[in-house]
Structures are given as structure tokens and as C-alpha cells.
Amino acid sequence: MTRQREKDKLPIIIEAAKVIFACYGFHDSHIAKIAKQAGIAEGTIYLYVRSKEELMIRLFEHQVGSFIAALQEQLRSIDDARAQIRCIIQQHLAKLEEDPELARVFQFELRQPNLTIREGIAPILRQYFQIIEHTIRLGQQQGHFDPTLSAVLVRKLIFGGINEVATSWVFSQKDYSLRSQGEPLLRMILKGITT
């Protein structure tokens, strides 16, 4: 019984939550279903998480957190801001296409009326936004992007565009590649913000 074992059910729970949230949405995802999916008792979930809301937040933290870490790792080896933008769009779409359940949860619950969830998710999302905005400012410094543009607004266009493309795909028959939308999307955006 190593100490690490104590907490090793959390990933299982989060994974189960992802599957169930993706399938039913937050409100129709009952703790009983998630517990069953995880192969554990309902009460056990509450040893790792304070509430259903926190479970959703933890899921975001876990998934988006690791995505951001990997993304930053990749961006570090890219100098050109234009290439960085390409990387961001590609990785974002690839991640969702790879994990359609995550995609469903992300597109469904990104804009939660539920304040607790919204506020729990916000910091993670903000982190991602800052990465994008940072890249944009870098591009402006490099002289690639129009320096008069607001980095925040550009980020909104980029994130909004990716998001809409992803949402359409999630609700579609998925008979086309999500990734393949990245390049034409990128072209429009780059052209739109180039000096």
C-alpha cells in the first residue's frame, strides 16, 4: 500500500465523468451513472470530490490543463508567431477529434449558466486565452501582425472561430475530419491580421 495508491481513483472517476457528461450533459449525468461507469460506489466519488460541480471543474482542469502543458511545450520550439497560431489551431482541433467525448463536454459545457462551474472553469480558460494573446503580441512585435489590432479581440476571433468549427463537428455526423478545417481557417485568420 504505497501512499500514492490513496488517490489513484481520481483519474478513473474523471474519465468516467467525461464519458457520462459527454453522453448526457451535466444535468442528466447522475452520480449513480458516473459511479457505475467508474466501477465504484457512489459514495466513493465524494472521497475525491466535493460535489458534482467540482467534478466538472476537475475534468476541465485535468483535460485542458494537460493540453495546455503539451501545447506550451510545443510552442517553445516555435519562433514564428504565425507558426505558433497554426500550432494552436491544429493542436486544439486534433485534441477534440482524438477525443470526441471530451469534445462534446467542452462544446456543451463551455458556457455554463451555473455560476459555480463557470467560475471554476474560468481560470483554466483564461490561461489558454493568455497563451493565444501572448502569441498574437509576439507576432505584432515580429512585425507579422497588424500592431493596431487588440490582441484580446484577435484572440476572440481565433477562439470563437475554432469553437464554432468544433461545435458544428460535434453536432454533425462526424463524417468529415475536424483537423482538416484547421488550415483554411488559419489562412483566413492570418490574412485577416497580417500587417
User: Can you give the binding site for a copy of itself, defined by CB under 8 A?
Assistant: 24-28, 107-114, 118, 149-150, 153-154, 156-157, 159-165, 167-168, 171, 181, 184-185, 188-194
Rg value, the chain, Cα: 18
Cβ 54 to DNA, closest distance in Å? 8
Cα–chain center distance at 84: 17
Cβ 61 to DNA, closest distance in Å? 17
**39/160 with CB nearer a copy of itself:** 160
The grid cell for 142 is 515580429
Nearest-angstrom CA–CA distance, 40 and 42: 7
Q: Are 124 and 64 in contact (CB under 8 A)?
A: yes
**89/105 with CB nearer DNA:** 105
Cβ 12 to DNA, closest distance in Å? 9
Look at the block and give the residue holding cell 467508474.
38
Nearest-angstrom CA–CA distance, 49 and 46: 5
Nearest-angstrom CA–CA distance, 75 and 84: 6
* Helix, strand, or coil (residue 194): strand
**41/153 with CB nearer DNA:** 41
Cβ 112 to DNA, closest distance in Å? 15
Out of a copy of itself, DNA, none, what residue 183 binds, judged by CB under 5 to 8 A for its kind, is none
Cβ 162 to a copy of itself, closest distance in Å? 7
Q: Which residues bind DNA (CB under 7 A)?
A: 1-7, 9, 28-32, 40-44, 46-48, 51-53
Out of a copy of itself, DNA, none, what residue 123 binds, judged by CB under 5 to 8 A for its kind, is none
Nearest-angstrom CA–CA distance, 91 and 89: 6
**2/77 with CB nearer DNA:** 2
Q: Are 109 and 122 in contact (CB under 8 A)?
A: no
